[in-house]
A and B are shown apart, each in its own frame.
Chain A
Amino acid sequence: MGEKKTLNLPLIGNIILTKGHSVLGIILGIIAGGILILISGVNPFDAYGAMLRGAFRNWASFTNVLVRSSPLLLGGIGVAIGIKSGLWNTGIEGFMYLGGIGAAIVSTMNLGLPPVLYVLLCFLVGMLFAGVWGAIPGYLKAYRGVNEVTCTIMMNYIAVYLTNWIVTSTPIAQPEAFYPMSLPFAQATYLPILTQGTSLHIGPFIGIVVCLVFYFLLKYTSFGFRTRMLGYNPIAARYAGVNSKRQMVIIMVIGAMLGGLAGTIECIGLRHRLYMEYVTNVGYESVAVALVAGGNPIGVLVSALFFSILKAGGATMAIETGVSSSMSSIIIALCVLFVVGVGVADEKSASARKRKAKAAAAAKKEVAE
């Protein structure tokens, strides 16, 4: 009887019901994070209040959220299309490094190109580098049966050390540096700052557009149809004539190129140099983003922004209340755990419900007979 009196909140209500796992998991993650904050001796309401202020106090603080969302959006989509096609792409971390390397090589050369062209060239080379890098695990998975998770994680390490080598021992390394870094990039490669006094560059908007494009691509194109078919039932996909091996490589390369673009944007948008170990787990966070989003591009949009709020607000929380700065990462991890956990629990209880319903039906039938 409560059903009919439900408040008419179609949007929020439906999101909560259809994305029930994610929303409930996130709420539980935030509550668990609050308990940890409490244990560390800070009032969790103060802490979360500081977090929200840090993210939403004014436009300048919201730009922090946007800037942080840029790599999560792009990387999250890279992982999400993998999930849609049944591939676990855990290589975004490495692809970002390769994107950074590509951008660094081009932009330290001072080609004297006009800014727009130069930036596009950086994007292109960054994506190319990462794409070639991504083709390796893609090929190994599709044609040699190597587990893609192991392979991409291994290659992430190689990418980290490759970057370290490039910023210490190659001609594009800054000589006599106090910290391993490349030469400064050419001014023409800098992404324009959209709001003075902030770091807001076009990266987050590129990320948002990419999310929408991939939503369309998956839903409304034959490429997307093929991808989803491969993810839902690879045997049927093969039967329907899909070259599933080639498709796997393509998906991995696309994911890699998105990761590469994310890395390029981080380099030419923020620091204007390539630094040693500059990615620091953002690639793995994008796996979490895609996981919470359930592989849905629109979900990626929402969860990337949510994670960015946690991260940007988390910095303010640490500054204002003295909570450890790793707390935002912990809360993100808790959210992911609970989202996955709620999903599993829900599946179990659903099958238990089914069993009960069936038993009840059987009992009824017997009585009837």
Chain B
Amino acid sequence: MKKVLAVLAVFLITASFVFAGGSSEGSNDMAGSVAMVLSGLKTDQAFNQYTYEGMLRAGQEKGIKTAYMESVKDSEQIEVIRQFAQAGYQTIIGQGGQFGDALATVATEFPNTQFIFSVGNDTYGLPNMSAATVSYKEAGYVGGIMAANATKNNKVAMITGVFYANQSQMRDAFEKALHDVNPDIEFTAIETNDWADTDTAYNAANALIAQGYDILFPCLDAAGAGVAAAADDSKGKAMVVGSVADYAGVYGCKAVVGSVDFNWEGLGYLESTGELCDGQAHEVGLANDGLNITINNLSEEGVAALEQAKNDIIAGNIVL
């Protein structure tokens, strides 16, 4: 009796799936459809969430079909991207630096589908693969102008986790801005090797302050709170020029000149509209609303210099 029941149960369940499997959805209009592959959760209140929201906004405004997959692990990247391509999505966005190889692999298999490597600048020489990133260079330059106009000791330091490609570009542009304003400014850049360790960042910042650096330019994740705290604790000896986050808003930092952070939502939106699908590498910067600049404690000359620099960049007068 038990045996019969067990066999029956298995059959019933299997059968129910097969029947359900028969009812495939009607083929929607896939024109302009876009799918986004995220490495983290779409509710992370950071990069993943904002780019995803950008895609949603594009979907609503343009009436295009959107889809996403979150928390995609390394080993399943190719498979998931391929599934989207097989399902007929016309643009597939890999949101993060780890998706490059996987996108390129699938792009060669689906020449009629467009692929966007987001937060990367490599198109792997493929006509149907584009790259888009926010401009770390422009963010660095804007930060440099603020720092140069705020320093009193003419000593400025950058603190970051590790100098990956983006951080290196940011550092070079930042240094260029400093020296464009005042060639005598002394500049140093250090790595903490941890993007989230607040204590390490706090200690590193204090060490820099002790050496007389009075403007700190952090490019960190959660560890930014440590730099903010060090500046606040320095009793006016040092101030922060924030990047990647609004230091006054996010960390409640008082000793802050201003911050430059990225408009991820705007990037997601731009990628989803299909404007970037041209086989080129794009940098979304001041010209297309890719940066948010917040000013907290900057002299009038400083503000004016900042405006000037922004205009020069947009006009192409400054090449980074």
Chain A interface residues toward B at CB < 8 A: 2-3, 6-7, 9, 12-13, 16-17, 20, 23-24, 27, 30, 45-46, 48-54, 60, 64, 67-68, 71, 168, 176-181, 184, 197-199, 266, 270-273, 275, 277-282, 311-312, 315-316, 318-320, 324-326
- A54 to B80 Cα, complex, angstroms: 11
How many chain B residues touch A (CB < 8 A): the figure is: 53
A179 touches B96 (CB 8 A): yes
- A212 to B74 Cα, complex, angstroms: 29
Within 8 A of A (CB), among B263-316: none
CB B225 to nearest CB in A, in angstroms, measures 22
B165 touches A177 (CB 8 A): yes
Is B146's beta carbon under 8 Å from chain A? Answer: no
- A16 to B3 Cα, complex, angstroms: 8
- A45 to B17 Cα, complex, angstroms: 6
A326 touches B86 (CB 8 A): no
- A9 to B19 Cα, complex, angstroms: 23
Is B211's beta carbon under 8 Å from chain A? Answer: no
Residues in chain B near residue A9, CB distance under 8 A: 7
Question: Binary interface profile of B, 67-101, with partner A (CB < 8 Å = 1, else 0)?
Answer: 10111111111111011101100000000111011
- A325 to B71 Cα, complex, angstroms: 7
Given contacts A7-B7, A64-B83, A178-B120, 16 further A-B contacts (CB under 8 A): A13-B7, A16-B6, A45-B19, A60-B86, A71-B75, A176-B164, A178-B121, A179-B97, A197-B109, A271-B75, A275-B98, A278-B75, A315-B79, A315-B80, A319-B84, A325-B70
Secondary structure of the B contact surface, majority rule? helix
- A266 to B77 Cα, complex, angstroms: 12
Residues in chain A near residue B119, CB distance under 8 A: 178
Is B168's beta carbon under 8 Å from chain A? Answer: yes
CB B198 to nearest CB in A, in angstroms, measures 19
Q: Which of A177, A278, A319 contacts B83 (CB 8 A)?
A: A319
- A327 to B162 Cα, complex, angstroms: 34
Determine which residue in B24, B72, B74 has the highest number of CB atoms from chain A within 10 A of its CB, and name it. B74
Within 8 A of A (CB), among B1-34: 1-4, 6-7, 9-10, 13, 16-25
Is B49's beta carbon under 8 Å from chain A? Answer: no
Residues in chain A near residue B113, CB distance under 8 A: none
- A46 to B24 Cα, complex, angstroms: 9
Residues in chain A near residue B151, CB distance under 8 A: none
A46 touches B97 (CB 8 A): no
Residues in chain A near residue B234, CB distance under 8 A: none
Closest A residue by C-beta to B120: A178
Is B102's beta carbon under 8 Å from chain A? Answer: yes
B3 touches A45 (CB 8 A): no
B23 touches A46 (CB 8 A): yes
A273 touches B101 (CB 8 A): yes
- A318 to B80 Cα, complex, angstroms: 10
Residues in chain B near residue A198, CB distance under 8 A: 82
A271 touches B101 (CB 8 A): yes
Residues in chain A near residue B73, CB distance under 8 A: 280-281
Q: Which of B3, B22, B82, B101 contacts A272 (CB 8 A)?
A: B101
Is B166's beta carbon under 8 Å from chain A? Answer: yes
A49 touches B69 (CB 8 A): no
Closest A residue by C-beta to B71: A325
A52 touches B13 (CB 8 A): no
- A297 to B84 Cα, complex, angstroms: 35
B75 touches A320 (CB 8 A): no
- A249 to B19 Cα, complex, angstroms: 50
Whether A178 contacts B164 in the complex (CB less than 8 A), given A17-B3, A312-B79, comes out as yes
A277 touches B74 (CB 8 A): yes
A64 touches B79 (CB 8 A): yes
CB B194 to nearest CB in A, in angstroms, measures 11
Residues in chain A near residue B101, CB distance under 8 A: 184, 271-273
B102 touches A271 (CB 8 A): yes
Q: Which of A179, A312, A319 contacts B98 (CB 8 A)?
A: A179
A-B contact pairs, 29 of them (CB 8 A): A12-B7, A13-B7, A16-B7, A17-B3, A17-B6, A45-B19, A45-B20, A49-B20, A50-B21, A51-B17, A52-B17, A52-B18, A54-B83, A68-B76, A71-B75, A178-B98, A178-B120, A179-B98, A197-B109, A199-B79, A270-B75, A270-B78, A273-B101, A311-B76, A312-B79, A315-B83, A318-B69, A319-B67, A325-B70
A326 touches B71 (CB 8 A): yes
- A319 to B72 Cα, complex, angstroms: 12
Closest A residue by C-beta to B9: A27
B25 touches A320 (CB 8 A): yes
- A349 to B175 Cα, complex, angstroms: 74
- A325 to B83 Cα, complex, angstroms: 14
- A51 to B166 Cα, complex, angstroms: 39
- A45 to B35 Cα, complex, angstroms: 24
Closest B residue by C-beta to A60: B86
A315 touches B76 (CB 8 A): yes
